[in-house]
């Protein structure tokens, strides 16, 4: 089985999901959008994990790969594959399926 994850920034990796996937026998591949927007064929993966990041699901002008990513997520879902979204990843799933994602009026993190 093959799990593929989408990573938006270097500091938002799989974390504790990785040992679980490896223990379940998954081969793990990734797309690191901060390096390349190259995506696999969606029919070649068994599970998609969409990680978080500090950008907004609506920041397509600043991060043009978001359009391609949302289409990929929608294709994976429509193909019937399971998809897990963490933080931004959950918002990307919602946005890719047509939901409107709004900015939170309260800042979620303090840097």
With CA atoms as reference, report the closest residue to 84 among 8, 36, 17, 15. Answer: 17
Chain segment 64-101, per-residue pLDDT in tens: 999 999 999 999 999 999 999 999 999 999 999 999 99
Give the DSSP letter of residue 89.
Answer: H
Residue 84 tokens read as: 């897990």
110 or 107: which carries more pLDDT confidence?
107
If 0-12 CB within 10 Å is exposed, 13-18 middle and 19+ buried, where does residue 5 land?
A: buried
Residue 3, classed as helix, strand or coil, is strand
CATH topology of domain 2-96: Rossmann fold (3.40.50)
Domain ranges of the chain: 2-96
0.85 exceeded by pTM: yes
């Amino acid at each position: 089985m093959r799990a593929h994850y989408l990573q938006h920034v270097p500091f938002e990796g799989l974390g504790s999901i990785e040992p679980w996937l490896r223990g379940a026998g998954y081969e793990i591949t990734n797309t690191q959008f901060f390096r390349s927007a190259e995506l696999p064929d969606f029919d070649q993966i068994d599970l998609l994990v969409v990680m978080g990041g500090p950008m907004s699901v609506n920041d397509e002008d600043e991060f043009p790969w978001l359009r391609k990513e949302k289409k990929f997520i929608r294709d994976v879902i429509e193909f019937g594959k399971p998809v897990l979204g963490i933080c931004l990843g959950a918002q990307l799933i919602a946005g890719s399926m047509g939901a409107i994602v709004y900015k939170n009026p309260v800042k979620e993190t303090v840097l």
